Structure 1
Amino acid sequence: MTIEIICAGFGGQGVLTTGLILAQAAYQKGWKLTWYPSYGAEMRGGTANCNVKISDEEIGNPYCSELDILIAMNEPSLDRFEEMMKPGGVLYYNTDMVDAGRSFRPDIVAVPVAASLLAQQVSNPRGANIAVLGAVAKKEEMFTREELEQAMCGFFEKKGKGKFNDKNRAAYNAGYQAV
Structure 2
Amino acid sequence: MNTQRICCAGFGGQGTLSMGKILAYAGMLEGHEVSWCPSYGPEMRGGTANCHVIVSDEPIGSPVITSDANCVIAMNQPSLDKFVGILAKGGALVVNSDLASLKEDRADIRVLDVPANTMATQEFGSAKLANIILLGAVIQATGSVKIESIDDAFTHVFGGAKAKFIPNNKKAFEMGFEFAKNNK
TM-score (norm 1): 0.92
Whether the 8 Å CA contact 2:92–2:110 is kept in 1: the answer is: yes
Whether the 8 Å CA contact 1:73–1:94 is kept in 2: the answer is: yes
Residues in 1 aligned to 2:70 and 2:121: alpha-carbon distance in whole angstroms: 29
Residue in structure 2 matching 1:132, options 110, 131, 134: 134
1:4 aligns with 2:5: yes
How far apart are 1:157 and its partner, in Å? 1.8
Whether the 8 Å CA contact 2:19–2:132 is kept in 1: the answer is: yes
1:156 aligns with 2:158: yes
Residues in 1 aligned to 2:5 and 2:105: alpha-carbon distance in whole angstroms: 19
- Return structure 1 stretches of 4+ with deviation > 6 angstroms: none
Q: 2:93: which partner in 1?
A: 91
Residues in 1 aligned to 2:44 and 2:28: alpha-carbon distance in whole angstroms: 27
Q: 1:39: which partner in 2?
A: 40
Residues in 2 aligned to 1:104 and 1:25: alpha-carbon distance in whole angstroms: 33
How far apart are 1:60 and its partner, in Å? 1.5
Taking the TM superposition and a 5 Å limit, the aligned residue runs for 1:110-121 are: 110-121=111-122
Residues in 2 aligned to 1:60 and 1:139: alpha-carbon distance in whole angstroms: 25
Whether the 8 Å CA contact 2:74–2:93 is kept in 1: the answer is: yes
Q: 2:14: which partner in 1?
A: 13
How far apart are 1:16 and its partner, in Å? 0.3
Residues in 2 aligned to 1:3 and 1:142: alpha-carbon distance in whole angstroms: 6
Whether the 8 Å CA contact 2:55–2:144 is kept in 1: the answer is: no
Residues in 2 aligned to 1:104 and 1:21: alpha-carbon distance in whole angstroms: 31
Residues in 2 aligned to 1:12 and 1:171: alpha-carbon distance in whole angstroms: 17
- The C-alpha deviation readout for 1:12-50, integer Å capped at 9, x for no partner, is 000000110010010001001111111011111110000
Question: What's the % identity of the aligned pairs?
Answer: 42
Secondary structure of the corresponding residue to residue 128 of structure 2: coil
Q: 1:146: which partner in 2?
A: 148
Greater mean alpha carbon deviation, residues 47-56 or residues 165-174: 165-174
Q: 1:109: which partner in 2?
A: 110
Query: Residue type matched to 2:29 in 1?
Result: Q
Query: Residue type matched to 2:171 in 1?
Result: A
Whether the 8 Å CA contact 1:122–1:170 is kept in 2: the answer is: no
Whether the 8 Å CA contact 1:104–1:110 is kept in 2: the answer is: no
- The C-alpha deviation readout for 1:93-143, integer Å capped at 9, x for no partner, is 1011014x7344221111111111111122153110000111122222222
Residues in 2 aligned to 1:131 and 1:50: alpha-carbon distance in whole angstroms: 17
Residues in 1 aligned to 2:141 and 2:81: alpha-carbon distance in whole angstroms: 23
Q: Relative to structure 1, is the Cα distance of residues 173 and 88 closer, same or farther in structure 2, using a 3 angstrom cutoff?
A: same
Whether the 8 Å CA contact 1:137–1:148 is kept in 2: the answer is: no
Residues in 2 aligned to 1:11 and 1:56: alpha-carbon distance in whole angstroms: 30
Q: Relative to structure 1, is the Cα distance of residues 172 and 150 closer, same or farther in structure 2, using a 3 angstrom cutoff?
A: same
